[in-house]
Amino acid sequence: MPEQLSIFELIANASALVQLVMGVLVLASLTSWVMIFQRWIYLRRVSVDVDEFEDHFWSGIDLRELYRELSSADDLSGIEGMFVSGFKEYTRLSEQSSLDTEAVMQGVQRAMRVSLNREEEKLETHLAFLATVGSTSPYIGLFGTVWGIMNSFRSLANMSQATLATVAPGISEALVATAMGLFAAIPAVIGYNRFSARVEVLMKRYETFAEEFTAILYRAAHAKR
C-alpha cells in the first residue's frame, strides 16, 4: 500500500475529533499570534510615548502650558492621561479654599491612581489569553493524540496481521495534534512572559512618575499657602 504520508493528507485522514482538536489549535495559534503582534506593536508605542513625555515633562516647561497643550489634544497616551487627570484634579481642588493641602493632595493621588489602574488594564489586555493558550494547548493537543492513538489501536484489534505499517499512519496523524499544541503553546508562553515583564517595567515607570508629579504638586500647593 503506497502511503502518501504528506502532512496535509495525515490531517485530512484523521478522525473527526482529532480534526476538531487540530482546528481549535490552529485557531488558538493564529489568535495568539495576532495578540502577540498587536501587543508587541502597542507596547513599543507606549514605551516610546513614555520616553517622549518624560523628556518633555522634565525639559522645564511650565506645567500649566503643558496641561493646556495636552487637554486640547484628543488622543492621549497613558502617561499623558495620567498627568492630565492629576493636574485637572489639582486645579479644581485648589480653587476651593475650604480644603487644606492634605485633602487636595489626597484627591490628586486618587485621581492619578484611577488613571493608573485604567492604564494597567489597557496594558494587560490579551495577556490572560496568551497565558491560557500557553498553558492549555499542549493538553488539547495531547488529548487529540491520545484519542487518535486509541482509535488506531482499536482498529488494530480487528486485523489478523498486525504490522508496524498498519499502526504507523494512525499514530503519526495523532502525533500531529501534539505538535500543533506545542506549536501554539510555545510562542504564547514566550509572549506572555515577555509582555508581562514589559508591562511591569512600564507600570513601575508610571508609578515613579506619579510619585514625582505628586511631589511637584505638593511643593506647589505648600508654596501657595
3-class SS shares of the chain: helix, strand, coil, % to 5: 85, 0, 15
Which of 12, 23, 37, 219 forms a contact with another protein (CB under 8 A)? 37
Written as nine digits, the cell of 129 is 489569553
Which of 18, 28, 36, 130 forms a contact with another protein (CB under 8 A)? 36
The CB-of-33 to another protein minimum distance in angstroms stands at 4
Is 8 a binding residue for another protein by CB under 8 A? The answer is: yes
Is 34 a binding residue for another protein by CB under 8 A? The answer is: yes
Report the residue number, 175 or 216, with the smaller CB distance to another protein.
Answer: 175
Say how far apart CA 86 and CA 83 lie, in whole Å. Answer: 5
Answer whether 70's CB lies under 8 Å from 83's CB.
Answer: yes
The total of other beta-carbon atoms located within 10 Å of residue 12's CB is: 10
Which of 12, 23, 30, 168 forms a contact with another protein (CB under 8 A)? 30
Angle CA 192–117–190, to nearest 5:
5
Report the residue number, 41 or 61, with the smaller CB distance to another protein.
Answer: 41
Among the listed residues 107, 117, 55, the one whose alpha carbon sits nearest the alpha carbon of residue 81: 117
**Contacting range for another protein; rule: CB under 8 A; set: 30-38, 81-89, 92-100, 195-203:** 30-38
Query: Which residues here bind another protein, judged by CB under 8 A?
Result: 2-9, 26, 29-31, 33-38, 40-42
